[in-house]
Chain A
Amino acid sequence: MKILIVDDFSTMRRIIKNLLRDLGFTNTSEADDGNSALPMLQNGNFDFLVTDWNMPGMTGIDLLKAVRADEKLKTLPVLMVTAEAKRDQIIEAAQAGVNGYVVKPFTAAVLKEKIDKIFERVNAG
């Protein structure tokens, strides 16, 4: 499984990369904002996208909307991992088609649970 991790802070990308590796996902790539992530997704055969919300250039919510609007990418599972905790934002992300929403700070257990849940649904549907 090929995963793209998008966050403008390299520390957070590293943490997520390590957690994913502990869960057995070793094929990961990184981008530091939506603008660089989108072409990578379009050309890269990724199976899963993990993204932050607040990023310069293109934000995570805009990246999500762009992914859902793209013919090739619209079914890509997307997990948001972000500090943004306003109800309106959570709802906006859900309505834009996010598959899971994790708020920072988070634990390894929560990350695993959300990823498992997303792939249960993907495999069932």
Chain B
Amino acid sequence: MLVSNSSGAGVDVLAELKERALALVDRLENSDYPGATEMIRRLNEARDRSIYHEVGKLTRGLHEAIVNFQIDTGRGIETEKMSQMANAQERLDYVINLTQKSADKTMDMVEQGIPVAAELGESARQLRADWQRLARREMSAEEFRSLYQQIDSFLGKTDAASGNLGATFSEILLAQDFQDLSGQVIKKVIMLVKEVEERLVDLMRMAGQVEELTGIFRAPEAVEKPAADVVPEGPQIKAGQRTDVVSGQDQVDDLLSSLGF
């Protein structure tokens, strides 16, 4: 049974085949064997013609996809521009590089800022100890004069450190610009992937029609579960919706302790 596609080709072929089959039966009933043979030839010819038609559509579909995605088949098709697939790969490489640079920059800034804050804290602690000695009147006049200067110096240091840390935080903020840029690039790749999927589905449909016409019957392919080997999937995006995945360290710990590990 031919499925009628949008152009109605299937329906036309059926009608034509039916018409010729009836004519064949008619010839046979009239014992017109040459006429019957001719009808059989015409039946085959109608069928062949429709096969060529569907195969032609499939080939054209493939050609369009190749041109559309600028795939380099090495057979004289316009190859000046790189294929969209290669382009997508480049874009994703770009995202990796961008995020890497941002992460490095941020960590550099953090590593620079941490000692500044730590040192300031240390100075404050020392100063405070001295200040408390003063409060307990354990300080000589000489030491008090020195403390006087230490306080001034500490206040200056705090001022400078504050400026330094402020600038550091600013740089860290700016380094987050990767999100915007990589987001845009990734969106484009998502669009490309969707397009490729749509094309493949179209092509598969066309191929299906060719198969039906030629009488090829393909047994439905069973969905195979991967055998013993567990396939790594990378970070889980929808852990909450799956039962075979944990969604946090607590669940990992629970799982392991429930098994005695």
| Nearest-Cβ distance from residue A66 to partner chain B, whole angstroms | 17
Partner of A90, one of B103, B104, B236, B255: B255
Q: How far is the CA of A95 from the CA of B261 in the complex (A)?
A: 9
Q: How far is the CA of A8 from the CA of B246 in the complex (A)?
A: 23
Check if B232 sits within 8 Å of A59, measured CB to CB: yes
Say which size band chain B's interface belongs to: 20 to 34
Partner of A103, one of B104, B230, B249: B249
Q: Hey, which bits of chain A sit against chain B, CB under 8 A?
A: 10-11, 14-15, 18, 53-54, 59, 83-92, 94, 101-104, 106, 110
Return the chain A residue nearest B253 by Cβ.
A101
Check if A101 sits within 8 Å of B256, measured CB to CB: yes
Other A-B contacts than A83-B236, A84-B234, A102-B252, 10 sampled, CB-CB below 8 A, are A11-B103, A85-B239, A85-B252, A86-B244, A86-B245, A86-B246, A87-B245, A90-B255, A90-B256, A101-B252
Q: List 22 A-B contacts (CB under 8 A).
A: A11-B103, A11-B107, A14-B104, A18-B107, A54-B234, A83-B235, A83-B236, A84-B233, A85-B239, A85-B246, A86-B230, A88-B230, A90-B246, A90-B252, A90-B255, A90-B256, A91-B255, A91-B259, A92-B230, A94-B259, A101-B252, A106-B249
| Nearest-Cβ distance from residue B225 to partner chain A, whole angstroms | 11
Return the chain B residue nearest A12 by Cβ.
B103
Q: Hey, which bits of chain B sit against chain A, CB under 8 A?
A: 99-100, 103-104, 107, 111, 230, 232-236, 239, 244-249, 252, 255-256, 259, 261
| Nearest-Cβ distance from residue A21 to partner chain B, whole angstroms | 10
Check if B252 sits within 8 Å of A103, measured CB to CB: yes
